[in-house]
A and B are shown apart, each in its own frame.
Chain A
Amino acid sequence: MDEYTFLQVVWFILISILWLGYFVLEGFDFGVGMLMRAVGRDESEKRATLHTIGPIWDGNEVWLIVAGGATFAAFPQWYATLFSGFYLALFLILLGLIVRNVGLEMWGKGETETWRRRWEWAIIGGSLLPALLWGVGWANIVHGVPIGADMEYTGTLFDLLKPYALLGGLASLSIFLAHGAIFLELKTEGAIRERAKAIATRATPVAAVIGIAFLIWTVASRQGGTDWVSAVIAAVSGVALLAAAFLAGREPGRAFAATTGAILAFFTALFVDLFPHTMVSSTDPAFSMTLNQSSSSDYTLTVMTVVAVLLVPVVLAYQAWTYWVFRHRVSAEDFGEVKSPLDLLDKSKRESTGDDDKGDGSGGEPAGAGSPG
């Protein structure tokens, strides 16, 4: 039996793209979350920090949900083996994401300092844990885990915590942290920006070292010999990481492009390394699951392809538009005076008309998309 068909390769690529999108987008959300206390000292600074990802983090997380759903639809055997096998690791990721999500929503809704401090730590922990564990998880998928002939995982949580995988976790954690610091440098002003810049300058070289070490280990230790395509892409990622380390603190725009490219190439190298398998068995190479063994029927893949072709461009268009709408820098000063959307209406009205007279905020036409910034 062939290892794969055309449509299976299409779906392997599509699912890879969903994960890539997730890591690039949620990567900086995680970084911002982890750094919220480091770059934001007082309440309005923290508010401004969270505001940089406020309108977009939820949309970014949907990339993960869709990656999960698409894996279920296109490769149910992969979904079943992976999710039941990495059971406790996924549980920890889920707990992290739940606590972080609720933290992002609840932080501003209490009146006391204690309330906010607790949610800040929830956001930090809930960003750090998934950022670490996604790297651990993908390192294991690529490197191989104990899987029997029946496609069932036979190890425990501790089988996932081998040095190679832990290095993978540190790599994703440090890269996301650097990615987030550079993002903050791009999106903020004033003291927050200065602190983000200082962190980016120090964190990016560390991320580059860990990331490159992990990629070398990955290329060198591949089951069944080195995959040269993957090795070349890994090298691209290494170069991008070095470029980011060099640019961080100097040219945030280019540095952000470099970390984005590094994350894309990093995980692409892993997916290419994994292909044509979905899970690698460390028990016996014969038990590794191929795309064909993991896949749904041709009919289902065809249906899903039609759906994806119709919807993905639309999704990309309106997500890009959101980034355009919220492209402005955020500063702590924005949160000193503006307390409600009605004030924002007033503010934008004043700015667009040059009129200082404060209206009642409801009757007037708000300014269009060309708002402050």
Chain B
Amino acid sequence: MEASSPLHSLRRVTALELARWQFGITTLYHFIFVPVTIGLAIVVAYSQTRWYRTGEEHWLRSTRFWGKLMLISFALGVATGIVQEFQFGMNWSNYSRFVGDIFGAPLAMEGLAAFFIESTFLGLWIFGWGRLSKKVHLVCAWLVAFSTALSAYFILAANSWMQHPVGYKMVDGKAELTNIASVLFNNTALYAFAHTILAALLTAGMILIAVSAWHLKRGNETQVFGGAMKLALPLVAISAVVTMGVGHFNGILMTDQQPMKMAAADAVFETKEGAGLSVFATAPFESNPEELTRNVEIPNLLSWISTGYPRGEIEGINNINAEYQERYGPGDYAPVVWVAYWTWRVMIGCAAVMFLIAAWGWWLMRKGRLEQSRRFLALAVPAVALPFLASATGWIFTEMGRQPWVVFGLLKTDVANSPSVGAEQIWITLVGFTLVYGILAAIAGRVFLKAVKKGPVEAGKAEEPGEELALAY
């Protein structure tokens, strides 16, 4: 009896599995706040520039309103970011020993170049109203926006090295840096950076649309929220298309660098030419989709996405596996196929739906019917979940699709964790972090919604004590 109890099966979970869960949970949680902060920081700096240039009061209110939302996101992002910096050493000491010579450098640069600017100038921005000149204060806003994006660049350069190791040689079983420029200008990193910044703009845009729709439906602050719609609808429509476009070239690059990941993304088990794109399939994902009950396929599209040619050859999972077994020794080199298959589709599906919503709204706006279209305003609010779903699935695809490797072709995940850290210790931290993160999510969510519903405050009118974020203390 005991052997089948849930508690017993929990005790059989290995330290490796727990460390992986912990990384997944803490990183996906952290990444809820990253695109919001990057995107809203740009929106805030833009609004403040408009206020600086025109002196129009509603731009000041916009700056402060979106700034308030940015700060809530920023607070959570910073608090959870420390865990990110430390957990490589805590849970993944073998990984750290193996990659430290290379991976540590962009991480340290991120701190020196980006985090210092970000935290210092954010403090100056929050507390500098009335104390700094208008121009210097505006520069602070742009420095915050710039440094959040810069930090994304460094961490993506580090991550891209795990996807596509470059500029290194192997010395005594460890990777050693030979060329920092190759690491910082890794083509994988440049595409990933463009993709991520666009996704951040998309996220901020969807937040602007949702919040504005909620208020416009109630007839509140039409100047501020009408202005936000005018900014956000084209922004989302265009950046959705461009994000997908960059993602497409990302896919071609990945077919070259990590063919297994792309093969898993479409569950192609046997190599074929002119492969169609399966849009929806129900199956155990153990063999080619022909044998599955797939219901929609777009001919040749997969070949085109992955290679740039409609008749291009798509290598199958089984073929790549055989090739890798020859190169790297016995083992299974395929990721969990259904995860890769579905996360890839959900990500792209979300982007497409966001494009459609924004395009519809844009069209309504040009016809002057936006504020009357209750259907659009009602739909725009829940649609705010889409960018978050897209980011989460995108990262799950990127990271789980690389498995069994933690550093592609060089180091497997199952030897990368900390030998000195046992399962019982990781249980403590896993439960601890998850619990605290959960509570914080509930609290921050409440505060965020409260700030959203309250809307911008009229100039000159005192806020209730404590309501004002710029004087949060």
Contacts and interface: CB of A to CB of B under 8 A. Distances in A.
A54 B111 CA distance: 20
Interface in B114-171: 115-117, 119-124, 126-134, 171
Interface in A252-310: 296-297, 299-300, 303-304, 307-308
Contact of B177 (A71, A152, A300, A311): A300
B1 interface: no
Interface centre among A61, A153, A343, A369 (most CB of B within 10 A): A343
B130 A69 contact: no
A59 B119 contact: yes
B124 A322 contact: yes
B460 A360 contact: yes
B96 A80 contact: yes
Given A325-B131, A339-B468, A296 B101 contact: yes
Contacts of B436: 95, 98-99
A74 B177 CA distance: 12
Contacts of A101: 75, 78-79
Interface string B417-444: 0111100010011001100100010011
Given A108-B472, A111-B466, A59 B123 contact: yes
Contact of B55 (A58, A102, A363): A363
A5 interface: no
B427 to A, nearest CB: 11
Interface centre among B51, B177, B443, B471 (most CB of A within 10 A): B471
A234 to B, nearest CB: 29
Interface centre among A297, A319, A367 (most CB of B within 10 A): A297
Contact of A105 (B72, B112, B120, B171): B72
Contact of B432 (A56, A70, A91, A361): A91
B174 to A, nearest CB: 9
B279 interface: no
A204 interface: no
B459 A369 contact: no
A104 interface: yes
A65 B115 contact: yes
A164 interface: no
B88 interface: yes
A73 B104 contact: yes
Given A50-B473, A59-B123, A105-B72, A77 B177 contact: no
A141 to B, nearest CB: 14
A342 to B, nearest CB: 5
Contacts of B322: none
A341 B468 contact: yes
Interface in B68-119: 71-72, 75-76, 78-83, 85-86, 88-91, 93-94, 96-97, 99-105, 107-113, 115-117, 119
A110 interface: yes
B10 to A, nearest CB: 20
A29 B120 CA distance: 15
Q: What is the interface of chain A mostly: helix, strand, loop, or mixed? A: helix
B447 interface: yes
B82 A97 contact: yes
A347 B108 CA distance: 42
Contacts of B296: none
A348 interface: yes
B89 A342 contact: no
B241 interface: no
A326 interface: yes
Nearest to B72: A105
Nearest to B97: A80
B466 A55 contact: no
B122 A58 contact: yes
A90 interface: yes
Nearest to A306: B180
B284 interface: no
Contact of A342 (B75, B171, B460, B465): B460
A43 B177 contact: no
B351 interface: no
A344 B104 contact: no
Contact of B111 (A62, A109, A349): A62
A138 interface: no
Contacts of B447: 106, 109-110
A330 B425 CA distance: 44
A319 B460 CA distance: 31
Contacts of A300: 101-102, 104-105, 176-177, 180
B373 to A, nearest CB: 32
Contacts of A349: 130
B457 interface: yes
A304 B463 CA distance: 47
B215 interface: no
B178 interface: yes
B464 interface: yes
Contacts of A358: 460
Given A68-B85, A297-B177, A315-B116, A79 B471 contact: no
Contacts of A61: 78, 82, 119
Contacts of B464: 111, 339
Contact of B104 (A74, A150, A340, A368): A74
Rank and list the top 10 A-B pairs by shortest CB-CB distance, nearest first: A76-B100, A83-B89, A73-B104, A341-B129, A50-B473, A72-B104, A344-B130, A66-B111, A84-B93, A84-B418
Given A105-B472, A325-B124, 13 more contacts: A55-B124, A66-B115, A77-B100, A80-B96, A91-B428, A95-B436, A104-B473, A105-B75, A110-B447, A110-B466, A304-B105, A315-B116, A342-B461
26 contacts: A51-B473, A54-B123, A54-B473, A61-B82, A68-B111, A69-B109, A69-B111, A71-B104, A72-B88, A76-B97, A79-B104, A87-B429, A88-B429, A98-B80, A99-B436, A101-B75, A102-B75, A102-B443, A153-B420, A300-B180, A318-B116, A318-B120, A322-B124, A325-B124, A339-B462, A344-B130
